[in-house]
Structure 1
Amino acid sequence: MNNKWFLHARYFLTWIFFFIGAKAFFLLYHFSRSSKLSGTEVSKIFIYGLRMDISFAGYLSIIPFLLLLVKAFFPQLNILKPIKYYTWFFIVLIALLTTVDLELYNAWGFRLDATPLQYLATPTEMAASSGNAPVLLLVGLFLLLSLLGFVLLRKLVPAIIFGAKSQLFFIIWSVWWFAFLIVPIRGGLQHIPINQSDVYFSDNIFANHAAVNLPWNVMYSLSKRNYENQNPYEYFPDSTAQRLVSELYKTPKTTALPKVLHKQQPNVLFIILESYTAKVVGCLGAGELSATPNLDKLAQEGILFNNIYASGDRSEKGLVALLSSYPVQTTTSIVKTPRKTEHLPHLNHVLEAQGYRSRFYYGGELAFANIKSYLLNAGYDHLISKFDFEAKDYNSKWGVHDHVLLQRVLQDLKEEKQPFFTTVFTLSSHEPYDVPMPAKFKGADETTRFRNSVYYTDYALGQFVEAAKKEPWWQNTLVILAADHGHRFPGDDPNDAPSKFRIPFILTGGAIAMQNQVISKVGSQTDIVPTVLAQLNLHEANYQWSKNLLDPQTQDFAFYVFNDGFGYITPQGAVTFDNVAKKIIRKDAQVSPKQIDYGKAYMQLSFKDFLAK
């Protein structure tokens, strides 16, 4: 069998076996998840995933098969070395991508795609996100997977001797193989080329993710990342989707809404808390897992909204939902496209028109994930970031710790003209959970480190508030506290789980006239700005994707997205939906089909609006 007639097939099989090995690496690395799968499910991961493995093997075979075709016409050419070097390069590249994906899947809950590209401009911050990764283990796995590829290449594609005989037949043979590649690349002879949904087979989202061919997924995501004009989420005719979404925001006229402020034009201090999941917030029922005594105290001094959900799972997406009341996209983000964020409404635009002075504080780099362009489009008077602090205060891998940041805010507010609008975005509770105080909770596991980082930020917040209460501006200040997104810990929630997205939202401060109040309306980050503006008697028509959480007549619902899926929550329960497989992932017993339709319509129209921006 060791002759040129089998070279094409041998080369093709090398890639298929390599991808099968990469799948095995993924399952073994995530053994805590894969061990819960049945033997049938594990076998289906390889069987259903094989179609995508074959597809990407086809892509990788294009250049080698083209070189073999050239060799057929010009037998004297030495093309085996170029094929070998080409293959070595892609073995190493794919092994590297696979290794990176092993750990990123833990943090993000989806397979590697084009998402990390938006963070390449800030490699330090991207590295900090993986600060807890077992580097030595990952390096070892990278080398082992690369070795597997080299061994397969050597065993299956040994040196081939090309004789002068049968050149015409080898030309025909090579042309046939080159033309044949279109079939595996498309995933078969069906009308629609292969996509992710073709390898999804289970109600278990992890099993579906494991079946996906990683380099195919990256390539596909890169080709689709700049959505131009086609909406991939068209579940209904537009008129039907419009009717359903209109029903969500149809609100009977309310004669009188509760007034919670005793100041006409208060200062606004918006503190955005990194990764503050409800699962560690005491006033939201965290119990013994609570790490937030100071936040709990602030909730008692104001109004706690205890049924609020983040709109997405990344910081840059949370900022847009919190400050512009704009829905989050799934596999992309509007922050990536400054020309689109130019058309977004923003809390700062409204307050600036009323004479407010504005500042935005962040202890890290604002270039991260293109956040700076969004804030510049929002028109903040001053942006304060890592580079506005002395190097001696760079005691975190992200930048400066929260107590340093909040001390700077306190210092600046002593001189700030009123009314002011100040936004503060914390960072110390982000991975790698690096905090400058002794651990409150014992343990070295990642969940405990996360809880300790939340406790530290809560401590810094408490110190800040106690000092702020002594300042003359405090009594005229509304403080808004909300998280940018939730977190998978504690509990290591699946990527779609509602518990991962539930977050705190609190209105407090000296300007609040009500204390120890709890509002249980189901809502989202996108509802916060209109709720605040209504209390300031600043009603804006630009916030079409939001409702007033203090209006008892508005609908109880929250919509969020994860990677190519959405969740929709009402008092009846939660449903999560996979947009790729077009299947429900989880559904509470009381959830009606109409609730699922509302979620699909919201997904469809919000993405259509994003495309039109």
Structure 2
Amino acid sequence: MYSQLFFFCLSSLALLSLSRLGLCLWQYERVQAVNGWVPILWGGLRIDLHLIAALTAIPWLFAPWLDDAAAAHRVLALYLSLGGMLIVLLEISTPQFILEYDTRPNRLYVDYLKHPKEVFGMLWKGYKGIVLGGSLLWLVISAANFYALTVVATPLTALHWPSALGCSLLSAIVLFGLIRGTWRHRPINPSTVAFCGDAMVNTLALNSLYSVLYAIYSIKNERSAEQAYGKMPADQMIHIIRKQAGIEQPASHPLLPTLHSSSPAQSHTQPKNIVLIVEESLGAQYIGNLGGSGLTPWIDYLSQEAWNFTRAYATGTRSVRGLEAISAGFPPTLSDAAVRLSGAQSRFFTLAQLLNQQGYVSRFIYGGEAHFDNMKSFFLGNGFTELHDQATFKNPAFTGTWGVSDEDMFNRLHTLLSQQKPTDPPSLNLAFSVSNHSPWEYPEGRITPIGEPASVENTVRYADWALGQFFAQARQSDYWDNTLFLVVADHDARVGGKSLVPLQHFHIPAMILGGGITPRRDDRLISQIDLPVTLLSLAGIQADHPMIGHDLTQPHAGGRAMMQYGENYGYLKDNCLTVLEPLREPSQWLYQAPHTYQPYPLDPELLQEALAHALWPHWAYQNGAHSLPELIKTTTLTPAVDPNDNPAHVSF
């Protein structure tokens, strides 16, 4: 056993070190820019030893007793081979994962494995050569590793029990030190080896199997922002949240501290339809009127007829993060998006929960399979009464890996709106596009491809074309004058960068148009969570809701945005970005577009404001506080807020 363990440990250490060195050479400019060679290689050695020690701990402890047992050699060869296969698989996957997500494989790697049909279909269609080459390399290395482990399986020595006991105790001491990785208060973790403001470079000091296993470990329970960023008394947090949301009236329900009555900016004799069009992966970098590459002529044209928000920011880097903000007005959290959390699958506030009480019909329209990312469960469990996903589309114009094309989705939306009669109930429609996604598939003949047809640039152009065709129909339709349309991206494509929170990749298009909307350019800083609140105001909806977004019909609204970037939380107010990192001191930066950051002296008041917004979503989720009074279960919880909203009297 000793010979096998020595071989596995040394070969694994060599493979991980060579892989890390190769990644550093590949990312030479970014590593060099932060003087990262020494901290990456030294930190990487510590992480690798930690992982290898954890994988081999039990065999090392039993080796003194079983080193001369042939059966033990065979079992150990199989076990170590499986461990080696995981190490090699993750390292081979790493370069492509970095290209897509600007980080090592992490929690997202695990999340996507829950949807093998869509993910492996995407990989096969879009990256066939990489998949085949990587699989072949993986099999060759794994087979060679198994063969070597069987060849070296010879006993080194037979020990008497006192010697065996001593060796086991010595192994336990060494293993404990390597696994703990440090003599400080906290064991080794990713923050231990983080050293710079480039989040991707920090992950180079990890190895990918460790990164994935740590992600799995971290989600065994709901992530607590309090444990990562610091504590704040709940009464103080609630007071700050209410103040920054502009909630001046006393809390109208003891268990819902942000529940308040909204006063609409307009009133209408006939209820307005509301259409939320969420564009997949459409960052400002592609939008001409936002200073991007000009791939969206239709969006640029529509922006001249719309209330166009030029400084809108997404709350995260995943579709589910954007969907929770747009459909529920829920801010980002260190934990998973509410769409995927078990405790948010019912009795969780969404626009549908509210508008159903106003007599609306609520629809979710999606060209893909709605079970992906748990969307079906979340939306159907929280007020959406109609679900139109891939299975409901008959004879679509085009079907790709992720579902039917955007034009099919928009045709369904147009049909549903056209079928509404004046006497029918108004409708809330959440329409989510899919075409602008790897492997970049779209129907032929709609656009003239530029360069390689299967590229993000061409799917952006197709998505823009499909959106334009829909609005060309909508403007000529009977429903136009009585419908409010929001066009907004869920997030940017391939978010990454050298900064702790790369703000330029959170910048997204957002505009409201339709009958009665006065075209204007709005340069205020806003967040995705402000948009549903604003739509309620424009639609003339008088109702109580718990959303903390701003009503942008008010002149002094806006001015702040919040975003979750992996483990880091960003709070942008005016031009000051506050960044909270797990187990590290917070920092503040003066931000100037497109991506200039200057260190900024810590503003304690702004820091408290940022911390409150980072803590609030987790607290609200855990306490069921993002809900409506009629949805709350019978509970014995102590009221969250004193009816007079006096922070000194808040109790839990």
Q: Structure 1 pair 554/125, CA: closer, same or farther in 2 (3 Å)?
A: same
Q: Could you say what secondary structure the match of 2:529 adopts?
A: helix
Cα distance in 1 for partners of 2:465, 2:2 equals 71
Cα distance in 1 for partners of 2:158, 2:279 equals 72
Q: Structure 1 pair 33/273, CA: closer, same or farther in 2 (3 Å)?
A: farther
1:322 aligns with 2:316: no
Q: Could you say what secondary structure the match of 1:435 adopts?
A: coil
Letter in 2 for 1:593: L
| Match runs of 1:241-390 below 5 Å | 241-250=237-246, 259=265, 264-286=270-292, 289-330=293-334, 332-390=336-394
Cα distance in 1 for partners of 2:271, 2:278 equals 21
State the match for 1:468 in structure 2. Answer: 474
| Match runs of 1:142-181 below 5 Å | 144=137, 154=148, 158-164=152-158, 166=160, 168-181=162-175
State the match for 1:71 in structure 2. Answer: 66
State the match for 1:24 in structure 2. Answer: 21
The answer (yes or no) to whether the contact 2:268–2:540 under 8 Å persists in 1 is: no
Structure 1 residue 245: Cα displacement: 3.4
Q: Structure 1 pair 582/444, CA: closer, same or farther in 2 (3 Å)?
A: farther
Structure 1 residue 531: Cα displacement: 0.9
Identify which of 103, 111, 129 aligns with 1:110.
103
Q: Structure 1 pair 148/351, CA: closer, same or farther in 2 (3 Å)?
A: same
Q: Could you say what secondary structure the match of 1:414 adopts?
A: helix
Structure 1 residue 442: Cα displacement: 2.2
Identify which of 521, 525, 530 aligns with 2:528.
525
State the match for 2:93 in structure 1. Answer: 100
Letter in 1 for 2:348: L
1:434 aligns with 2:445: no
Letter in 2 for 1:245: I
Letter in 1 for 2:435: S
Identify which of 593, 615, 618 aligns with 1:607.
618
Cα distance in 2 for partners of 1:475, 1:11 equals 70
| Match runs of 1:542-581 below 5 Å | 542-579=545-582, 581=584
Cα distance in 1 for partners of 2:6, 2:193 equals 23
Moved more, 120-129 or 437-446: 437-446
Identify which of 451, 457, 461 aligns with 1:451.
457
Structure 1 residue 228: Cα displacement: 4.4
1:485 aligns with 2:491: yes
Q: CA RMSD in A?
A: 3.3
Q: Structure 1 pair 213/166, CA: closer, same or farther in 2 (3 Å)?
A: same
The answer (yes or no) to whether the contact 1:264–1:536 under 8 Å persists in 2 is: no
1:396 aligns with 2:400: yes
Moved more, 572-581 or 501-510: 572-581
Q: Structure 1 pair 93/77, CA: closer, same or farther in 2 (3 Å)?
A: same
The answer (yes or no) to whether the contact 1:302–1:506 under 8 Å persists in 2 is: yes
1:82 aligns with 2:75: yes
Structure 1 residue 534: Cα displacement: 1.8
Cα distance in 1 for partners of 2:134, 2:356 equals 53
Gaps in structure 2 of 5+ consecutive residues: 250-261, 592-597, 625-652
Moved more, 33-42 or 595-604: 33-42
Q: Could you say what secondary structure the match of 1:537 adopts?
A: coil
Cα distance in 2 for partners of 1:62, 1:295 equals 58
Q: Could you say what secondary structure the match of 1:190 adopts?
A: coil
Structure 1 residue 209: Cα displacement: 0.9
Letter in 1 for 2:380: L
Identify which of 122, 127, 130 aligns with 2:115.
122
1:53 aligns with 2:48: yes
Identity level (%)? 24
Q: Deviations over 1:375-430 (max 9, x none)?
A: 11222221001111236645211111111221122223222334222221111112
Structure 1 residue 326: Cα displacement: 0.2
Q: Deviations over 1:185-222 (max 9, x none)?
A: 11133332111111112233222110013222222221
Cα distance in 1 for partners of 2:7, 2:395 equals 57
Q: Structure 1 pair 597/374, CA: closer, same or farther in 2 (3 Å)?
A: same
Structure 1 residue 463: Cα displacement: 1.6
State the match for 2:200 in structure 1. Answer: 206
Moved more, 318-327 or 476-485: 476-485
Structure 1 residue 317: Cα displacement: 1.4
Cα distance in 2 for partners of 1:568, 1:358 equals 32
Q: Could you say what secondary structure the match of 2:403 adopts?
A: coil
The answer (yes or no) to whether the contact 2:314–2:563 under 8 Å persists in 1 is: yes
Structure 1 residue 560: Cα displacement: 0.7
Cα distance in 2 for partners of 1:495, 1:398 equals 31
Identify which of 35, 39, 43 aligns with 1:44.
39
Structure 1 residue 299: Cα displacement: 2.2
Q: Structure 1 pair 585/161, CA: closer, same or farther in 2 (3 Å)?
A: farther
The answer (yes or no) to whether the contact 1:18–1:152 under 8 Å persists in 2 is: no
State the match for 2:503 in structure 1. Answer: 498
Gaps in structure 1 of 5+ consecutive residues: none
Cα distance in 2 for partners of 1:55, 1:18 equals 15
State the match for 1:233 in structure 2. Answer: 228
Cα distance in 1 for partners of 2:280, 2:77 equals 47
Identify which of 189, 197, 201 aligns with 1:195.
189
Q: Could you say what secondary structure the match of 1:429 adopts?
A: coil
Structure 1 residue 579: Cα displacement: 3.0
| Match runs of 1:205-224 below 5 Å | 205-224=199-218
State the match for 2:631 in structure 1. Answer: none
The answer (yes or no) to whether the contact 2:397–2:443 under 8 Å persists in 1 is: no
Cα distance in 2 for partners of 1:130, 1:503 equals 27
Cα distance in 2 for partners of 1:310, 1:445 equals 28
Cα distance in 2 for partners of 1:385, 1:5 equals 56
The answer (yes or no) to whether the contact 2:298–2:464 under 8 Å persists in 1 is: yes
Moved more, 108-117 or 162-171: 162-171
Letter in 2 for 1:407: N
Structure 1 residue 124: Cα displacement: 2.7
Letter in 2 for 1:17: A
Structure 1 residue 129: Cα displacement: 5.2
Q: Structure 1 pair 420/245, CA: closer, same or farther in 2 (3 Å)?
A: closer
Structure 1 residue 343: Cα displacement: 3.4
Cα distance in 2 for partners of 1:388, 1:138 equals 32
The answer (yes or no) to whether the contact 1:125–1:398 under 8 Å persists in 2 is: yes
Q: Structure 1 pair 152/604, CA: closer, same or farther in 2 (3 Å)?
A: same
Letter in 1 for 2:24: L
Structure 1 residue 242: Cα displacement: 4.1
Q: Deviations over 1:581-600 (max 9, x none)?
A: 44549643485623444323
1:411 aligns with 2:415: yes
Cα distance in 2 for partners of 1:258, 1:541 equals 11
Cα distance in 2 for partners of 1:590, 1:260 equals 43
State the match for 2:432 in structure 1. Answer: 425
